[in-house]
Amino acid sequence: MGVNKIEINYDNGIEVRVNDNRATLQDLLDAWQPLCDNERLYKLYAQNQHRECRGCTVNCCNTAYVIPDLIAFKKMARFTGLDYPEFIARYFQRDKLEVGLLRMQPDPCIFLQDKICTIYPLRSLICRFYLCCQISGDTEQLVYSLSWTGATATQLFVEELGLLAGSSEQGLSSFDMMFRKLIEDYRYNPNIKFFMQAGEYSDIPLAPFI
């Protein structure tokens, strides 16, 4: 039998090992999802510290600051049956749009109903990768880079369509300023092109992000 493209090690926090330079982001997501479903894994904020994520009642979706990656953004829009301007107007926080930020409506997430995510298979990378577990530094950096490259690709895509207002400095919270800085830090990252050109996560190679 061949070696798995992606392995997960638990010796010193969750650690991803990529064994094949042909591995894609979809391969990583396929290896990561069992962590979300694992009730034996210690999860700091889960009920009794052991619960699968999709059934968690201490729900991070209540207050999350979500700027979706471009693949998730397009899939969510198709799911709602809305074109991009209508989708943005209905599902994103208006006062953030006015300062140039694409934050999905929070408190709780607009797609959360009865504490259950209604778009779980379509959720954004920032949601897929979040685990209230100890994660090794290299793995944390990998999922962080993928999530924010994807989110910045959404920002650029929407800007190119002329659907986002200017970047006013008035009324920005500390979180707004942090996320705006992240987007600016990633704006010229060459890996943006993989998200801009991809239709699926399987189109995005992992090697450039490692």
pLDDT of residue 141: 96
Nearest-CA neighbor of 151 among 73, 62, 86? 73
Q: What angle do CA 166, 168, 171 make, to 5 degrees?
A: 140
Per-residue pLDDT reduced to its tens digit, 14-37 = 999 999 999 999 999 999 999 888
Residue 130 has pLDDT above 80, yes or no: yes
What is the rounded average pLDDT of the residues 118-142? 93
Residue 120 has pLDDT above 60, yes or no: yes
E strands along 81-156, which residues? 112-113, 116-117
Tell me if 50 is assigned to some domain: yes
Tell me if 145 is assigned to some domain: yes
Tell me if 56 is assigned to some domain: yes
Torsion sign (Cα): 146, 152, 156, 162:
positive
Per-residue pLDDT reduced to its tens digit, 170-189 = 778 898 999 999 999 999 99
Residue 75 pLDDT class (50, 70, 90 cuts): very high
73: its two tokens: 């953004």
Distance CA 118, CA 172 (A): 30
Tell me if 119 is assigned to some domain: yes
pLDDT of residue 137: 93
Per-residue pLDDT reduced to its tens digit, 193-203 = 999 999 999 99
95: its two tokens: 């006062």
pLDDT of residue 158: 96
Per-residue pLDDT reduced to its tens digit, 37-62 = 888 888 877 778 877 777 677 777 88
Tell me if 1 is assigned to some domain: no
Residue 167 pLDDT class (50, 70, 90 cuts): low
Residue 3 pLDDT class (50, 70, 90 cuts): low
Residue 102 is part of which domain span?
6-209
Tell me if 59 is assigned to some domain: yes
pTM of the predicted model, to two decimals?
0.92
- Cβ-in-10-Å burial (0-12, 13-18, 19+) of 182 comes to middle
How many CB atoms neighbour CB 45 within 10 A?
13
Tell me if 42 is assigned to some domain: yes
Total domain count for the chain?
Answer: 1
